[in-house]
A and B are shown apart, each in its own frame.
Chain A
Amino acid sequence: MSDALWSERQKSTWRTKVGLAEMLKGGVIMDVTSPEQAKIAADAGAQAVMALERVPADIRTQGGVARMSDPQMIRGIQDVVTIPVMAKCRIGHFVEAQILEALGVDFVDESEVLTPADERYHVNKHEFKVPFVCGCRDLGEALRRIGEGAAMIRTKGEAGTGDIVEAVRHLRTVTDEIRRLGALPPEELMTVAKELGAPYDLVVEVARTGKLPVPNFSAGGVATPADAALMMQLGAEAVFVGSGVFKSADPARRARAIVDAVANFDNPHKLAEISRGLGEPMSGMSTSTMEDGQRIAGRGW
């Protein structure tokens, strides 16, 4: 039995941070912008919600600087759901992260979807009690974020487009690079670490274990149950859905269908049933016709 006071006990260790990420495998995390939407997401079976002021599709069309959400709105969402509540801070904006931690959010997403606050450095995530998730496009970026303390990694995809192609590219890139590392002799790993721009110790660990040291989720462009199941079959361990739910014609039905699809991602007969008659998906925009300036996946360093 511990003699220490509750407040004196060691809390929020690396293991409890990555542990929460483990507990979020096999499910769906949904972007919500109000307590009403959070209720719809939770009732549909979302395992967590991401509280933000505008979904990525609206950030794209409305422009301007996208920042951390109003704490009052985050509190409002925390009050109506029992599932974990996540929220986004700008890349490098450690004060937004401090505020989110003070609010007691369960995960902070240091996200390229918001306008970056620092063009060179990300938040030192080790300093925080709250766990962080960060986006990546390739293995080097994933390992840099883990090196900074991220307890969960997600693909960036191209948020707010409803086009899955970038998320597929990013996930395939990460898994291909992990496989390649596993085949290399030890003397090549230092040079590979240099080329990837990744911490050497993490490169050695991935080469040995064949996987990232933290859960690897997918985000950015999921609009249909089939998109979600595709990412799961490609090896994602859970799925974030941003604009795909609440920019569709029937959010409650689509939310539930995406949850059911992730739970049955390898069963095409069930997926066929789940995908029937959901109404219009978000209209979306093709990433292949986008100008470089319109892409947000390039944010982060």
Chain B
Amino acid sequence: MSLTGVLSYQGGFERHLERLAGLGVRTLPVRSVEALERVDALIIPGGESTTIGMLMERFGIMQALLARIATGLPVFGTCAGAILLAADIEGSEQPRLGALDITVRRNAYGRQIESFEADVSDAAWNGAAFHGVFIRAPQIVRVGAGVRTILRFESLPVLVREKNMLAATFHPELTGDDRIHRYFLEEVAGI
């Protein structure tokens, strides 16, 4: 049975692990290169992208993960995880994977008191709305030619995919709706 990892240095890893376990998936918190080598898919959670990026570099995960993404490891980044996947981060030289051809703007909606919940609807996805929880959320301000926008909110992409990489600016792990996790596992990872 395949193994789905959640990068668990810092941030919202626990809710992702719970959500995956709820889908009957075997999970592994990833905090070392050895653990990373064992997984068949990986979620990079929300949290502080600068802190997570720093820890990934310190413990050798950054290079190891980049190599695995290049050879097809399915990855799903939420919020900070999306920032870490992004090729360009406006006004920042912070450590990142840089594998996904998008430009992000950090804390684009403002500070914590500007965090919000809103319905994100999409006719292509059975027409049912997703409840988006946006916490100090980034915005995706540019998508590359090979990137497909799956969901938008107020005209900006909030869920995008490029090959084996999926990225969301909101937190599907904080609601009871598991459709996006299922999409990642079934459509992106083929698990």
Q: Which residues of A contact B (CB under 8 A)?
A: 1-2, 9-13, 15-16, 19-20, 22-27, 42, 45-48, 82-84, 101, 104-107, 129-131, 237, 259-260, 263-264, 267
Contacts and interface: CB of A to CB of B under 8 A. Distances in A.
Contacts of A263: 9-10, 31, 55, 59
A264 B136 CA distance: 26
Contact of A27 (B15, B51, B106, B152): B51
B112 A27 contact: no
A48 B12 contact: no
B138 to A, nearest CB: 11
A12 B12 contact: no
Given A19-B115, A104-B112, 4 more contacts: A15-B117, A22-B12, A24-B11, A83-B51
Contacts of A42: 50
Contacts of A11: 113-116
Q: 9 shortest A-B CB distances, which residue pairs?
A: A106-B112, A16-B115, A27-B10, A104-B111, A11-B116, A26-B10, A129-B113, A47-B48, A47-B51
A106 B114 CA distance: 10
A82 B107 contact: yes
A247 B15 CA distance: 35
Given A13-B117, A16-B135, A26-B8, A107 B112 contact: yes
B9 A48 contact: no
16 contacts: A1-B121, A13-B116, A15-B175, A16-B116, A19-B174, A20-B115, A23-B46, A24-B11, A25-B47, A26-B11, A46-B51, A47-B10, A83-B48, A84-B136, A106-B112, A259-B55
A101 B113 contact: yes
Interface centre among A24, A84, A263 (most CB of B within 10 A): A263
A185 B175 CA distance: 30
B50 to A, nearest CB: 6
Contacts of B117: 10, 13, 15-16
A25 B14 contact: yes
A167 to B, nearest CB: 20
A45 B51 contact: yes
A46 B45 CA distance: 17
Contacts, number: 133
Given A45-B55, A263-B31, A24 B47 contact: yes
A12 B13 CA distance: 21
Given A22-B174, A23-B135, A27-B47, A130 B113 contact: yes
Given A23-B46, A82-B107, A9 B135 contact: no
A12 B10 contact: no
A195 B112 CA distance: 36
Interface centre among B31, B114, B115 (most CB of A within 10 A): B115
B186 interface: no
Interface in B28-67: 31-32, 45-48, 50-51, 54-55, 58-59
Contacts of B177: none
Given A25-B11, A84-B112, A19 B171 contact: yes
B105 to A, nearest CB: 12
A25 B113 contact: no
A260 B51 CA distance: 11
Nearest to A103: B111
A82 B112 CA distance: 12
B75 interface: no
Contacts of B121: 1
B113 A47 contact: no
Contacts of B50: 42, 82-83
